[in-house]
């Protein structure tokens, strides 16, 4: 890249071609005049051209850059030697990046003037705005990327007067170009589909037909050789092929990767969760951004803090910030009780899915990895990470034209369901340091719990850490004060707009003293401030001033009781003014409904909970109606209910609060009740051919998910997936003849069929394995024998269940050993049209399962010392 350098005497000179350590520079965007009037590279090297009309634009750019403290600037007319075809091709392929990396982009509008036509004109803006809207600059092909690529785009009239920037003129630019405002703000163009981006360029013109295509290279992130003379049509065909090839590879890879719904920072579930208020967490956010931008810093940043200190809010803010900059590679927000969001088994594939979307050139390498090992998604996390992340990244070619920094945000790692997985993830992340052409940086948050601390001790020196309690209390106080002051003012404003003047709150409500009292109660828990504001805002419970008074009664200095002060005002209002008998009834209803909500493995709607709990329709909604400050309750009863924060669950199940919290939930009992409700629901719901398909050859891929949801309701799907998990967490053992045993004897194959249609066969097999370990052999010999046989049956027929669940009845059962328990129990479901059944062995063989994956001969096998792992090696290099 060749720049112009401003000299002390006001002149400027061309630099040499700079490849590395490019200084900060400004860049000019303009419309070209006649070729004879633009200053060229040759003019500058020959020391001529000052008499040309275009020289004034170069002078303008240099003077403006100097005013902005920039020594260097770039102008396309004279910084490219267009007589050198190689240099021209490289410049056109690099142009988008050059504009993107410029510190300032100055748009010089030669057809827009700020001079008043006559003395009576009073508004300067009305003079130039119509000319601005009609400017030729908005019709040219090359100026599209010059508008979208830079972070800072400033517009100037032909007199050099500043008109505004891309932000202040956003609405006008949107109206002129039809480009969405978000594209003008965030400039991460890959989030817009190909057709929409082509639409932005549809009516733009270029002098040469091919340039109409070449000017779009950066918009679509492609590089192509220049073939002037090929014509616009052929150039467009080549561009489309260059765009479509990686998209096809990307789509193929994405179709083969699993993805945890709602785990990303910008998912619907996270949409309404807060980001940091403007003016809060300033130093912390700056520190994290500096870490991410430092090539020499460690690749992992661990931010830890106790529950409720605002870690997830910071994570969302960091993710949004880097997403806006185009540097976010992926995010995963762990959340216990949210299904796949608590499952480490979904973590790596979800991250890789996003990385492939961020880095399309990664797709073919991931595709080859999956083809070499189709079962990689079910393998150990370490192997997944190496196969799907490390090796593909190492095979990528480093693109010098693109930023090599990619930030991955991992929130609430402590909410990963299995403690063993937490340590594995922590040990895996530092492996990317200095080993891949793309620099991955992991920003990770968690509570400082033992498994996390032990994990980071294992990678000592390979991460940067910061504890929120290390931040000076004065800064936290100031941030919480800012949040409360803003939110309470909004509450006052909204309330006063909705009531008669005689009921309105005073203009200074709640007053500085009360805000300060709330700050003192909150320190250091941001969740206290957020919950209190939701409680005060909730009109179902009383006027804001009355709600505030209830909160202030719980002033305390004890950290242990700060959660009491957060949640007891919300809960105790449920009992206000009731008799002892009425209170008992309310508490029992609370424990039945809310006690179930807080131990759910995945959120359910009020409608589904009514059915799962076996209560009358509307019961759940009525019992949580006053809990909007602690539960995210959607307006529609068929949308899932969620906890605002996991600390509410912690508060309710804390055994130390049993005596002081009348709403205390005995966790094991809650799981036991939920397991019983799940079993009863699926006992009454499951049957053969659950989706009424009739044709036993029907493939899972041929059945729309909407049909599965129609025939298998959300609560039945939940019960199918999690009844075993609830049994385990209840701590109770399962015995012969109990409900679980009866259910399996009646519906095992129907349950496996349902899991097949749901795409959850692996989870079902894991549930059977877990259940087997949960049964006392000596006390429950019949159930244990049944489960052992069920395990053999499910493992042997795994691919059948996954691909065509109805084949359970006309294939899996027929080929099961003649004397097997499952064959004898469910033989009645074999279709009557099968008149001659094949001869099969009487009992299961020693082979539990056939492991597939190698394409060549297996030459070596080794077992782990504890007997839980086996590894094989083949001539096919896998």
- 252-261 pLDDT per residue, tens: 888 889 999 8
- Residue 289's Cβ-count burial label (10 Å; 0-12, 13-18, 19+) is middle
Residue 283 to residue 473: CA distance in whole angstroms: 13
Q: What is the pLDDT of residue 566?
A: 87
Backbone φ, ψ for residue 595 (5° rounding): -60, -30
Q: What is the pLDDT of residues 745-768, one digit of tens each?
A: 999 999 999 999 999 999 999 999
Mean pLDDT of 803-811: 95
CA 792 to chain centroid: 38
Q: What is the pLDDT of residue 400?
A: 44
Average pLDDT for the chain: 90
Range of lowest pLDDT (551-560, 642-651, 773-782, 824-833): 551-560
Q: What is the pLDDT of residue 840?
A: 87
Please give the class, per CATH, of domain 268-470: alpha beta
In 492-638 the beta strands, taken as DSSP E runs, fall at 631-632
Range of lowest pLDDT (532-536, 719-723, 864-868): 864-868
Place of tokens 């990770």: 444
Q: What are the residue ranges spanned by the domains of the chain?
A: 2-249, 268-470, 473-554, 580-597+608-662, 670-829, 848-878
Provide, for the chain, the percentages of residues in helix, strand and coil under a 3-state DSSP scheme, each rounded to the nearest 5.
55, 10, 40
Give me the half-sphere count of Cα atoms (radius 13 Å) on the Cβ side of residue 411.
24
Residue 330 to residue 322: CA distance in whole angstroms: 10
Given a contact cutoff of 8 angstroms between Cβ atoms, the answer to whether 527 and 566 are in contact is yes
Residue 366 to residue 257: CA distance in whole angstroms: 10
Which residues in 458-489 are b (16+ Cβ under 10 Å) and which e? ebeebbbebebeebeeeebbebbbbbbbebbe
Q: What is the pLDDT of residue 398?
A: 62
DSSP state letter for 640: B
Tell me which of 27 and 375 has the higher pLDDT: 27
Bridge partner list, 665: none
Q: What is the pLDDT of residue 558?
A: 52
**What is the secondary structure of 182-232 as a DSSP string?**
HHHHH--GGGS-HHHHHHHHTT-B-SSHHHHHHTTTTTTT------TTSHH
Q: What is the pLDDT of residue 804?
A: 96
Give me 575's structure tokens: 């009992």
49: left (phi over 0), alpha (psi -120 to 50) or beta: left
Mean pLDDT of 711-726: 97
pLDDT band at 118 (very low <50, low <70, confident <90, very high): low
What are the residues whose beta carbons fall under 8 Å from the beta carbon of 370, sequence distance 6 or more? Answer: 253, 256, 257, 376, 388
DSSP state letter for 776: -
CB atoms within 10 A of CB 838: 7
Give me 739's structure tokens: 């409900």
Given a contact cutoff of 8 angstroms between Cβ atoms, the answer to whether 105 and 166 are in contact is no
What separation in angstroms does the CA of 61 have from each of 113, 165, 430, 811?
A: 17, 16, 45, 77
What's the pTM?
A: 0.69
Backbone φ, ψ for residue 260 (5° rounding): -80, 110
Range of lowest pLDDT (397-411, 671-685, 738-752): 397-411
Q: What is the pLDDT of residue 116?
A: 67
Q: What is the pLDDT of residues 626-645, one digit of tens each?
A: 899 899 999 889 999 999 88
Residue 150 to residue 100: CA distance in whole angstroms: 4
Given a contact cutoff of 8 angstroms between Cβ atoms, the answer to whether 22 and 79 are in contact is no
pLDDT band at 404 (very low <50, low <70, confident <90, very high): low
Given a contact cutoff of 8 angstroms between Cβ atoms, the answer to whether 827 and 809 are in contact is no
Residue 443 to residue 330: CA distance in whole angstroms: 11
Place of tokens 């950290």: 559
Place of tokens 């297996």: 858
Q: What is the pLDDT of residues 556-615, one digit of tens each?
A: 655 457 788 888 888 988 988 889 999 999 999 999 999 999 999 999 999 999 999 999
CB atoms within 10 A of CB 32: 15
Give me the half-sphere count of Cα atoms (radius 13 Å) on the Cβ side of residue 719.
28
Backbone φ, ψ for residue 45 (5° rounding): -70, -25
What 3-state DSSP class applies to 240?
helix
In 633-715 the beta strands, taken as DSSP E runs, fall at 642-643
- Helical ranges in 499-543 per DSSP H: 512-522, 526-537
Residue 842 to residue 232: CA distance in whole angstroms: 72
Q: What is the pLDDT of residue 561?
A: 72
Q: What is the pLDDT of residues 12-54, one digit of tens each?
A: 999 998 888 899 999 999 999 998 999 999 999 999 999 999 9
Residue 297 to residue 290: CA distance in whole angstroms: 9
Range of lowest pLDDT (526-530, 552-556, 687-691, 860-864): 552-556
CA 374 to chain centroid: 25
Instruction: Tell which residue, 378, 351, 376, 347, has the closest CA to residue 362.
Output: 351
The fraction of the chain above a pLDDT of 70, given in percent, is: 96
Q: What is the pLDDT of residue 592?
A: 95
CA 131 to chain centroid: 43
> Which element (helix H / strand E) includes 798?
helix 798-803
pLDDT band at 401 (very low <50, low <70, confident <90, very high): very low
Instruction: Tell which residue, 364, 366, 387, has the closest CA to residue 376.
Output: 387
- Is the pLDDT confidence value at 448 over 50? yes
Backbone φ, ψ for residue 551 (5° rounding): -65, -45
Residue 12 to residue 104: CA distance in whole angstroms: 18
Bridge partner list, 643: 631
Give me 551's structure tokens: 């909160």
Residue 49 to residue 40: CA distance in whole angstroms: 8
- Is the pLDDT confidence value at 119 over 60? no
Chain length of the chain: 878
Q: What is the pLDDT of residues 508-527, one digit of tens each?
A: 999 999 999 999 998 888 88
Place of tokens 């019949």: 782
Mean pLDDT of 159-183: 94
């Amino acid at each position: 890249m060749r720049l112009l350098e401003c000299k002390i005497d006001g002149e400027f000179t061309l630099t040499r071609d700079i490849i590395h350590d490019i200084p900060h520079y400004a860049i000019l965007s303009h419309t070209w005049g006649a070729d004879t009037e633009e200053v060229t590279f040759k003019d500058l090297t020959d020391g001529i051209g000052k008499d040309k009309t275009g020289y004034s634009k170069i002078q303008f750019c240099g003077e403006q850059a100097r005013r902005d403290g920039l020594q260097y600037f770039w102008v396309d007319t004279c910084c490219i030697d267009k007589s050198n075809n190689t240099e021209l091709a490289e410049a056109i392929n690099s142009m988008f990046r050059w504009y993107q990396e410029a510190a300032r982009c100055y748009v010089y509008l030669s057809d827009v003037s700020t001079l008043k036509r006559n003395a009576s004109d009073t508004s300067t803006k009305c003079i130039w705005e119509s000319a601005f809207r009609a400017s030729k600059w908005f019709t040219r092909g090359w100026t599209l990327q010059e508008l979208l690529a830079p972070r800072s785009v400033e517009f100037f009239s032909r007199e050099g007067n500043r008109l505004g920037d891309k932000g202040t003129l956003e609405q006008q630019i949107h109206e002129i170009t039809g480009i969405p405002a978000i594209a003008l703000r965030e400039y991460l163009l890959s989030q817009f589909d190909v057709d929409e981006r082509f639409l932005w360029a549809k009516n733009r013109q270029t002098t040469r037909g091919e340039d109409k295509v070449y000017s779009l290279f950066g918009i679509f992130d492609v590089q192509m050789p220049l073939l002037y003379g090929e014509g616009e049509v052929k150039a467009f065909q080549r561009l489309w092929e260059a765009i479509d090839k990686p998209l096809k590879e990307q789509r193929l890879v994405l179709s083969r990767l699993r993805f945890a719904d709602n785990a990303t920072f910008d998912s619907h579930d996270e949409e309404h969760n807060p980001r940091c208020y403007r003016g809060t967490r300033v130093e912390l956010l700056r520190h994290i951004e500096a870490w991410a931008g430092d090539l020499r810093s460690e690749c992992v940043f661990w931010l830890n803090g106790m529950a409720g200190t605002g870690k997830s809010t910071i994570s969302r803010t960091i993710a949004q910030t880097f997403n806006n900059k185009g540097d976010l590679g992926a995010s995963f927000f762990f959340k216990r009780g949210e299904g796949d969001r608590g499952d480490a088994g979904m973590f790596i594939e979800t991250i890789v899915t996003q990385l492939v979307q961020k880095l399309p050139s990664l797709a073919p390498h991931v595709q080859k990895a999956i083809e070499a090992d189709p079962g990689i998604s079910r393998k150990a996390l370490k192997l997944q990470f190496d196969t799907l992340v490390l090796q593909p990244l190492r095979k990528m070619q480093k693109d010098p034209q693109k930023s090599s920094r990619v930030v991955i945000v991992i929130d609430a790692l402590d909410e990963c369901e299995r403690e063993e997985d937490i340590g594995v993830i922590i040990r895996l992340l530092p492996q990317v340091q200095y080993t891949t052409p793309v620099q991955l940086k992991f920003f990770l948050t968690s509570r400082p719990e033992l498994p996390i601390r032990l994990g980071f001790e294992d990678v000592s020196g390979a991460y940067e850490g910061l504890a929120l309690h290390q931040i000076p209390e004065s800064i936290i106080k100031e941030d919480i004060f800012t949040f409360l002051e803003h939110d309470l003012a909004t509450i006052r404003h909204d309330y006063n707009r909705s009531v008669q003047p005689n009921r309105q709150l005073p203009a200074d409500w709640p007053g500085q003293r009360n805000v300060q009292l709330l700050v003192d109660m909150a320190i250091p828990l941001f969740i206290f401030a957020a919950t209190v504001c939701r409680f005060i805002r909730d009109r179902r419970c009383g006027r804001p001033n009355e709600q505030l008074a209830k909160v202030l009664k719980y002033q305390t200095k004890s950290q242990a009781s700060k959660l009491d002060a957060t949640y007891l005002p919300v809960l105790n209002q449920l009992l206000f003014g009731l008799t002892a008998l009425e209170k008992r009834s309310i508490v029992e209803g609370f424990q039945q409904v809310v006690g179930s909500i807080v131990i759910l493995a995945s959120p359910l709607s009020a409608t589904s909970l009514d059915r799962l709990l076996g209560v009358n329709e509307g019961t759940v909604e009525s019992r949580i109606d006053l809990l909007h400050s602690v539960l995210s309750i959607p307006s529609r009863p068929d949308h899932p209910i969620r906890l605002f924060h996991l600390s509410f669950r912690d508060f309710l199940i804390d055994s130390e609060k049993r005596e002081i919290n009348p709403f205390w939930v005995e966790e094991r009992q809650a799981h036991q009740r939920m397991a019983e409700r799940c079993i009863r629901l699926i006992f009454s719901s499951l049957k053969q051919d659950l989706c009424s398909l009739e044709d036993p050859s029907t493939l899972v891929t041929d059945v729309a998910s909407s049909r599965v949801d129609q025939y298998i309701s959300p609560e039945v799907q939940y019960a199918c997936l999690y009844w075993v998990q609830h049994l385990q967490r209840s701590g109770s053992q399962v015995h012969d003849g109990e409900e679980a045993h009866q259910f399996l004897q009646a519906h095992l194959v129907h349950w496996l069929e349902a899991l097949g249609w749901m795409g959850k066969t692996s989870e079902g097999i894991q549930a059977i394995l877990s259940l087997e370990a949960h049964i006392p052999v000596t006390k429950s010999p019949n159930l244990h024998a049944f489960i052992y046989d069920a395990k053999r049956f499910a493992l042997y027929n795994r691919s059948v269940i996954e691909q065509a669940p109805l084949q359970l009845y006309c294939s899996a059962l027929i080929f099961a050993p003649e004397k097997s328990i499952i064959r004898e129990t469910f033989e009645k479901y074999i279709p009557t049209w099968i008149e001659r059944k094949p001869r099969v062995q009487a009992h299961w063989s020693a082979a539990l399962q056939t492991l597939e994956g190698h394409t060549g001969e297996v030459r070596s096998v080794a077992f782990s010392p504890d007997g839980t792992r086996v590894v094989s090696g083949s001539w096919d290099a896998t």
